[in-house]
Amino acid sequence: MNSMKLGLVGIGKIARDQHVPALARSIDFDLCAAASRHNRLEGVDHYPNVEEMLAARPELDAVSLCTPPDGRYEQAAAVLRAGKHLMLEKPPAATVSEIEALALMAAASGVTLCATWHSREAAEVDAARDWLAGKRIAAVRIRWKEDIRQWHPGQDWILAAGGFGVFDPGINALSIATQILPDPLVVTGAVLSVPTNRVSPIAASIALRTGDAPVAAEFDFLQTGQQSWDIEVDTDAGVLRLRDGGSRLELPDAAPLAGPNEEYARLYRRFAELVRAGESDVDLRPLQLVADAFLVGERRVVEPFDF
């Protein structure tokens, strides 16, 4: 089957680090156009915004949006109105209501909408889910701590309204937890630490439950030195440890498992499968948990933060 012509919107760090290399190796998609206000990709036709890209390139089959969530709704709606299949970088939208509206729009237009959660595609997430199936969960601990200056240098938008703050990486942990745990997650409380000169939290502690088991999640954007992207699950068969963002799995009485980083290659393969099957994939659970944390969270003001 011929590859599909794809336009990439938003040429920032995540696009350059992950999307462009994955597309370069893809047999499903041909990256033939890009839209960005500030950046360009060498060898790819460039447009200042998604509307001009769509108008100039009607032959596009699909679009991948890598822009920040705030303001993405209008871009996504333009793509769907043009009848193009759409893939969304996480988080899929700034609000739950936005992505629900986009899902309805995609269905009405007869095109595929794929809301991606790249951390679910980490090498050992599926194996962790399979091992936990049928086991009794006693407790879960999530530690997602990284250095904002290393991973989001100078990106002020991430701490602005609609930028999600520490939930931008934290939602990756929630996307894995909702994938591997047998029972749904429910938020019971949260503490959100917001710098005096910012709007979104730079750290957060969230209390949740899954079944009758407590879940404690700690998110921190000020972690220096060794970074932590770990989930531990106490079960009646021992402790499961999923480390390094889902790429390393430690099980009781077994050698550790570790696979290669192919998250974005898997995302684009999944997107192609959905397009060819005429289906969409819009799982809102991680975004709903973040929204719930904001709803019930206690806001604490902390010292100012500057890059």
- Do 92 and 75 meet the contact criterion of CB atoms below 8 Å apart? no
Contacts with 290 (C-beta within 8 Å, 6 or more apart), sequence order: 91, 164, 167, 170, 171, 174
Tokens of 202: 């730079």
Instruction: Out of 5, 13, 84, 90, pick the active-site residue.
Output: 90
**CA 247 – CA 230 distance, rounded (Å):** 10
Phi and psi for 53 in degrees, rounded to 5? -65, -45
Contact (CB, 8 A) for 206 and 293: yes
CA 249 vs CA 118, 132, 282: distances in Å? 17, 12, 27
What is the Cβ-side half-sphere exposure of residue 131, based on CA atoms within 13 angstroms? Answer: 22
Query: Is 213 in a helix, a strand, or coil?
Result: strand
Specify whether the CB–CB gap between 64 and 87 falls below 8 A: yes
| Catalytic-residue membership of 135 | no
What is the rounded CA–CA span in Å between residue 197 and residue 15? 28
Tokens 């199936």 sit on residue:
133
How far is Cα of residue 77 from the mean position of the Cα atoms in its chain? Answer: 19
Active-site amino acid positions: 90
